[in-house]
Amino acid sequence: MTATIEQNKAVVKRFNKEIIEEGNPQSFQELVAHTFINHTAAKGFDSGPAGLIQMFEHILRPAFSDLKVTIYEQVGEGDRVTTLKTIAGIHTGDFMGIPATHQPVTIHVMDMVTVKDGKYHEHWGVNTVMALAAELKALHTAGK
């Protein structure tokens, strides 16, 4: 059975809530295909599922507490869903070598995901992670 656009959007919403916000490993297994490819993985990151785990569990979640994803818009066509969202939290841990500033942070994201059989199969995205790192570095340097 082919999933509807609304069902695919629901998969993306669930991914953002259960994986990014909550860090649920069971949801990761349920929602990410073992053949997943991140076409825009950061340099040095695996482009498969391991790269997602590295980003969320070893970089974002340790650096930022109280993560909250806000989805502003979703557009679906065929098996693809494009999402405009923010990921917000508090900088309470080391992030890319920058010690905690205890400041609120927001990462702006536009991503497109291919969803098949209720799972992420492909991802393309742009975000403001590097701009956030520069901002936090400036805050840390100014606070010394």
Question: Which CATH number covers residue 81?
Answer: 3.10.450.50
Angular region, 102: left φ>0, alpha ψ -120 to 50, beta rest? left
pLDDT (tens digit per residue) in 90-138: 999 999 999 999 999 999 999 999 999 999 999 999 999 999 999 999 9
pLDDT (tens digit per residue) in 26-49: 999 999 999 999 999 999 999 999
pTM of this structure: 0.93
Phi, psi of 78, deg, nearest 5: 60, -125
Structural domain total, the chain: 1
**What domain range includes position 115?**
5-142
d(CA 32, CA 118): 9
Q: Tell me which amino acid residue 71 is.
A: I
